[in-house]
Homo-oligomer: A and B are copies of this chain.
Amino acid sequence: MRDVVEIGMGKTARRGYHLDDLTLVPSRRTRGSADVSVAWQLDAHRLDLPLMVAPSDAVVSPTTATVVDKLGGLAVLNGEGLWTRYEEPEPVLARIVEAAEEDRLVAQRVIRDAYAAPVQPELVAARIEEIRGTGARTAVRLSPQHALVFANTALDAGVDVLVIQGTVISAEHVAAGREPLNLKTFIALLDIPVVVGGCGDYQTALHLMRTGAAGVVVGYGAHPGSTTHEVLGIEVPMATAIADAAAARRDYLDETGGRYVHLVAYGDMTTGGDAAKAIACGADAVMLGEPLAAAAEAPGQGWYWDPTVSHPKLPRSWLHWSRGTRDATEPEAAAPGLSEVLLGPTADASGARNVFGALRRAMAKCGYSSVKEFQKVELTVAG
């Protein structure tokens, strides 16, 4: 059954599948869209949408976090981003956008320099409190390297969900001369749900589940500007990664006699169809970044970037323009609202608008009424 090919004499590789390789094929039953629920329960939090918004400064600001909360999702603020490095990040954002409009290599340098400023703990607290003040749920992302430094500040400020996320992390980081974060010990001390990742294989997913995390991020957040494959040779075929992590979830459920860890798929999703396919492979929710960068409210004003863009020595993405084919004369008013991007209605047929209306409709046409059930839908691979 395991799909293994011989690369050369004595060297094998496993076949992996991207979401793009798959399609959903409706079967004998259909449903009305109104009878379908896309709600998601993460620990004590019930969300109308199975959505975490990726911790990218291009999409999540204290303001947009509040909007996303009202629309039913959970926005993750980057605890080590511009909002916690600068008291007034707006001029910094303006410089990035301005540079992006002119020259992509210059823009990469501007963005690298912007992230060279130190994170200020008091701003971590202030941003969380700012979001909480609106009544919205708060989630903040910290890197494994700095989790110990900033976690208490975040907790004291009342954060609801903590996300410990690096592009690629493991439960077994080896570093000479420096004690790495012990996720298990760390999580045991917290009494809020922790989501950890990203990862791309069964073993890492299983080990991350054993740390006590409430959720595991599957995938490295690949977006249309990503070049991780070119730079490092690393790429995780998302359909395979999600299915493998779902197998880990099943085995961990068995080994613990009932602890269910949520899988949050992150990467290679730009449309509603992509999100539907991630769930079909076994995800409980999706983490989206780039698709929201198109929104009028997005701080990046149409540009998307994440921590792989701002790396000081070896960036692994380009700043990416998320509002479709660029037209210099297009008026700003043409950008859709976050509400249109997530819930519609829309007249745009690209698949990048009304993402969760599309998910609901895909579930209905395939005859499923909940996200969990939809993980069983049949898949086809193009020949």
Asked if B241 and A383 sit within 8 Å, CB to CB, the answer is no
User: A339-368: which have CB < 8 Å to B?
Assistant: 344-352, 354, 357-358, 361-362, 365-367
Asked if A175 and B32 sit within 8 Å, CB to CB, the answer is yes
Residues of the B chain whose Cβ atoms lie less than 8 Å from the Cβ of A169: 30
Residue of A1, A10, A23, A344 most packed against chain B (CB within 10 A):
A23
The yes or no answer to A173 lying at the interface (CB within 8 A) is yes
The yes or no answer to A117 lying at the interface (CB within 8 A) is no
Residues of the B chain whose Cβ atoms lie less than 8 Å from the Cβ of A174: 29-32, 35, 367
| 1/0 contact string of A215-240 vs chain B (CB within 8 Å) | 00000000001011111111111011
Asked if B313 and A240 sit within 8 Å, CB to CB, the answer is no
The yes or no answer to A13 lying at the interface (CB within 8 A) is yes
B32, B178, B201, B379: the one contacting A176 at CB < 8 Å is B32
Asked if A170 and B29 sit within 8 Å, CB to CB, the answer is yes
The yes or no answer to A267 lying at the interface (CB within 8 A) is no
**Segment at the interface with B among A47-55, A119-127, A202-210:** A202-210
The yes or no answer to A187 lying at the interface (CB within 8 A) is no
Asked if A315 and B347 sit within 8 Å, CB to CB, the answer is yes
Given A233-B24, A349-B227, A367 contacting B170 (CB threshold 8 A): yes
Asked if A234 and B8 sit within 8 Å, CB to CB, the answer is no
Q: How far is the CB of A351 from chain B (nearest CB, A)?
A: 3
B6, B225, B234, B318: the one contacting A25 at CB < 8 Å is B234
The yes or no answer to A326 lying at the interface (CB within 8 A) is no
This protein's copies in its complex? 4
Asked if A109 and B347 sit within 8 Å, CB to CB, the answer is yes
Q: How far is the CB of A171 from chain B (nearest CB, A)?
A: 7
Asked if B170 and A5 sit within 8 Å, CB to CB, the answer is no
Bound CA span A346–B176, Å: 26
The yes or no answer to A197 lying at the interface (CB within 8 A) is no
Residues of the B chain whose Cβ atoms lie less than 8 Å from the Cβ of A318: 349
Q: How far is the CB of A268 from chain B (nearest CB, A)?
A: 12
The yes or no answer to A3 lying at the interface (CB within 8 A) is yes
Residue of A227, A234, A316, A334 most packed against chain B (CB within 10 A):
A234
B23, B32, B246, B313: the one contacting A235 at CB < 8 Å is B23
Bound CA span A209–B172, Å: 40
The yes or no answer to A247 lying at the interface (CB within 8 A) is yes
Q: Using a CB–CB distance below 8 Å, which chain A residues touch chain B?
A: 1-3, 5-18, 21-32, 34-35, 105, 108-109, 112, 168-176, 178, 199-204, 207, 225, 227-237, 239-244, 246-247, 250, 271-277, 280-282, 309, 312-318, 334, 344-352, 354, 357-358, 361-362, 365-367, 378-383
